[in-house]
């Protein structure tokens, strides 16, 4: 469910997990079976700084109701935003909201804004 674009990635490799997702080139949504590799997670301020923008907008697809992120100077959708992250940001709580970067083998790259949770943490050191 992540919006994708051909923008250069900005996070360093941090994980080798994969996930199936949808390719999004706003405003058309196309299904893809590409597997995506998560490259890393960063804070909202690091994400905006790396893009060279002061603000990231949340836009709603009028046909599907799905939410995506966009920024001035960057064509199309940069990625998706989870419902929990949208709710947190709408209420002014950005403390646990982060951005993850993912890439596919065919060159698509995108970002997902989501909440960072410790619910599944098994060890911290």
Whether the Cβ atoms of residue 116 and residue 97 lie closer than 8 Å to each other: yes
pLDDT band (50, 70, 90) for residue 72 = confident
> Is residue 52 classed as helix, strand or coil in its secondary structure?
coil
Contact 115, 13 (CB under 8 A): no
**Is 29 or 56 the better-scoring residue by pLDDT?**
56
Contacts for 125 with CB less than 8 Å, ≥ 6 apart: none
Measured between alpha carbons, how far is 49 from 43 in angstroms, rounded to an integer? 10
Task: Report the C-alpha gap between 91 and 63 in whole angstroms.
Answer: 26
Q: Which of 20-24, 52-56, 83-87, 111-115 has the lowest mean pLDDT?
A: 20-24
Q: What is the pLDDT of residues 73-107, one digit of tens each?
A: 888 778 899 999 999 999 999 988 999 998 888 87
Q: In 3-state terms, what secondary structure has residue 89?
A: helix
């Amino acid at each position: 469910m992540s919006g994708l674009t051909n923008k250069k990635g900005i996070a360093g490799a941090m994980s080798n997990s994969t996930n199936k997702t949808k390719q999004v080139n706003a405003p058309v949504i196309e299904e893809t079976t590409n597997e995506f590799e998560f490259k890393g997670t960063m804070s909202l301020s690091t994400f905006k700084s790396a893009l060279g923008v002061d603000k990231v907008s949340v836009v709603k697809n009028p046909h599907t109701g799905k939410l995506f992120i966009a920024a001035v100077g960057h064509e199309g959708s940069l990625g998706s935003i989870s419902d929990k992250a949208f709710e947190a940001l709408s209420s002014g709580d950005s403390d646990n909201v982060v951005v993850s970067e993912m890439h596919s083998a065919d060159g698509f790259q995108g970002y997902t804004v989501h909440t960072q949770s410790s619910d599944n943490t098994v060890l911290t050191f």
